[in-house]
Structure 1
């Protein structure tokens, strides 16, 4: 018996809504014409996306880009009577759901943007936190805040993620163990918190330049020399591609000047980047944005171009670290 044909709409909807795998919904839409019509008409792929990530309720339109024609078209979300619109919407959300749940989990940080304070530039720059080695030659590689007498003064590190849409699953931070200080102290913080968001393209004020759409809980940070993992209670969809790491509470005082510092050797973010498939357009303080489809290729596929770009980024970072090293250790002119 084809229950979609023989049962009422609400009962069929209750049954098919139990499918929580995007691939299953795609398979269901291929069973028959009646099943395909039902899956598309009831927006089951879209509903699954909203169930997985409530942040997607902020999508107010979809923009499809035609690579062949070099043009783009906008699909309005309130045009529910147009079957063609519903079919395209089904295709977009099916791709989005698959990318958010089954794309490979990789490192998601694309670049470091700015630190709230830095003690010495460039040798203690935020860019050093991207390097997992902890040393450049014989020189420690780390970021250091400026010192402060007040232990409650926070610090922040701002990063750009790989793409406008990233599903972040886990974050890791390694505080610095300063072997070059008496007693080899570890300059961690009491707690760490993470904010995810986007640029406000309409803001004229630097302090309100970013809109944070999700703020994590405060995680206790151990005063230990290791890469400490902070697993989010559930994956977070970062819309806009910016991550703010907040360090709350200073622990370690420097014996040389009596001030409290926070120092970080490495920051790592793991998750799923949808940079190849989707972009975000016109996100602002209202939280509404357009979802731009860049490609309908399988999010799991990694082409040679992306790999080459990754190699170029690694080379760029190595060159930047090398320049920092030369600035810290200028060559001595022969007598």
Structure 2
């Protein structure tokens, strides 16, 4: 199908403002790529008006903190970052391409546990036997011993606690956090040491700060480092926690984009007093963070304490969109893996064809975008 730009192009008929309002209604990255594939004038309109970036910002306002976009084609060679001061055409094309892939990553259906490691707790009753690291274990027993984190005791039940974790990537879309309060099966009455409520924060390290590995085994220096050098950019509402020994699921009101890769769990208030010392404790045996890491295809460098950052895109990253099993889902078969990878590659080729002006590209309307076919203009 051929577009007669002089008489059928509504962008020219309606003008830039009205056309922007219409195209801004597209909330699927695939639809935006298809629109830019209609003709060279539509493609130019999408790129010049940075519609791919605007789509990402509408999905996650945190994207507005991205100040620069670069592509890295070789992870081995030292990275030379060039910041263009003028938005020349090649720079605009690159920005559009990167944000198109980022938007696609946002809409991926992958779900996995996004915790990489446990960093530090605000207090620990019996370190390291009751360390925060125990919360990475799925059960409450390991090798016939109890596995859980315990706070120190407090006379005042209002005293809060915090748990800090590093996520698997510096860019993660987080949808849920799961917490399993610990039930002391070795104490009389089997008390459950839950919190009254929980709240979650996401954030990043200040620029030019790096968490040293040897600090992680020293709770006091680690906690001081976190308090002084992590900037929390997202705070969830508080959720009530039930005093029940089960994996309790706290779904965020909207998926949240974590730029920087740090999560803090705030445990607000105590409900269970220990009989032997008459003090209140909070104990947790397991924590999960459900979401979509955007690594290794994407990474960020924080530029200043306000959170301005550089978005780095690695187009050659292998398996950046490999399927990850959802909770309770069996492992993916090799044939499913190949099918999924092929659909992603097809979508990437769809973007590249569009940006290179190779023709109109049409695909299925579903999320998989299988069987993409190029039709010459």
State the TM-score bracket (shorter-chain normalisation). Answer: 0.7 to 0.9
Distance 2:62 2:84 in 1: 16
- Which residue of structure 1 aligns with residue 374 of structure 2? none
Distance 1:279 1:8 in 2: 37
- Which residue of structure 2 aligns with residue 149 of structure 1? 155
Q: 1:24 Cα deviation (Å)?
A: 1.2
1:116, 1:156 within 8 Å by CA — same for their partners in 2?
Answer: yes
Q: 1:12 aligned to 2:19?
A: yes
- Which residue of structure 2 aligns with residue 263 of structure 1? 283
- Which residue of structure 2 aligns with residue 300 of structure 1? 321
- Which residue of structure 1 aligns with residue 218 of structure 2? none
- Which residue of structure 1 aligns with residue 52 of structure 2? 45
Q: 1:51 Cα deviation (Å)?
A: 0.8
Distance 1:7 1:245 in 2: 50
Q: 1:71 Cα deviation (Å)?
A: 5.6
Q: 1:34 Cα deviation (Å)?
A: 1.4
2:73, 2:316 within 8 Å by CA — same for their partners in 1?
Answer: no
Distance 1:283 1:254 in 2: 47
RMSD: 2.1
Q: 1:177 aligned to 2:197?
A: no
Spell out the pairing of 1:76-225 with structure 2 (5 A cutoff): 76=83, 79-80=86-87, 82-202=88-208, 206=225, 207-225=227-245
Distance 2:201 2:85 in 1: 31
Give unmatched runs, 5+ long, in structure 2. 1-7, 211-223, 325-377
- Which residue of structure 2 aligns with residue 244 of structure 1? 264
Q: 1:33 aligned to 2:40?
A: yes
- Which residue of structure 2 aligns with residue 332 of structure 1? none
Q: 1:66 Cα deviation (Å)?
A: 2.2
1:165, 1:273 within 8 Å by CA — same for their partners in 2?
Answer: yes
Q: Deviations over 1:105-160 (max 9, x none)?
A: 11111111111111112221111111112211322211101111111111111100
Distance 1:300 1:99 in 2: 8
Q: 1:293 Cα deviation (Å)?
A: 1.5
Q: 1:279 aligned to 2:303?
A: no
Q: 1:3 aligned to 2:24?
A: no
Q: 1:93 Cα deviation (Å)?
A: 0.5
1:65, 1:71 within 8 Å by CA — same for their partners in 2?
Answer: no
Q: 1:63 Cα deviation (Å)?
A: 2.6
1:58, 1:288 within 8 Å by CA — same for their partners in 2?
Answer: yes
- Which residue of structure 2 aligns with residue 289 of structure 1? 309
1:64, 1:72 within 8 Å by CA — same for their partners in 2?
Answer: no
Q: 1:19 Cα deviation (Å)?
A: 0.7
2:110, 2:323 within 8 Å by CA — same for their partners in 1?
Answer: no
Q: 1:7 Cα deviation (Å)?
A: 2.4
Distance 1:217 1:203 in 2: 29
Q: 1:74 Cα deviation (Å)?
A: 4.1
1:116, 1:155 within 8 Å by CA — same for their partners in 2?
Answer: yes
1:64, 1:74 within 8 Å by CA — same for their partners in 2?
Answer: no
- Which residue of structure 1 aligns with residue 248 of structure 2? 228
- Which residue of structure 1 aligns with residue 63 of structure 2? 56
1:186, 1:252 within 8 Å by CA — same for their partners in 2?
Answer: yes
1:63, 1:72 within 8 Å by CA — same for their partners in 2?
Answer: no
Q: 1:282 Cα deviation (Å)?
A: 2.9
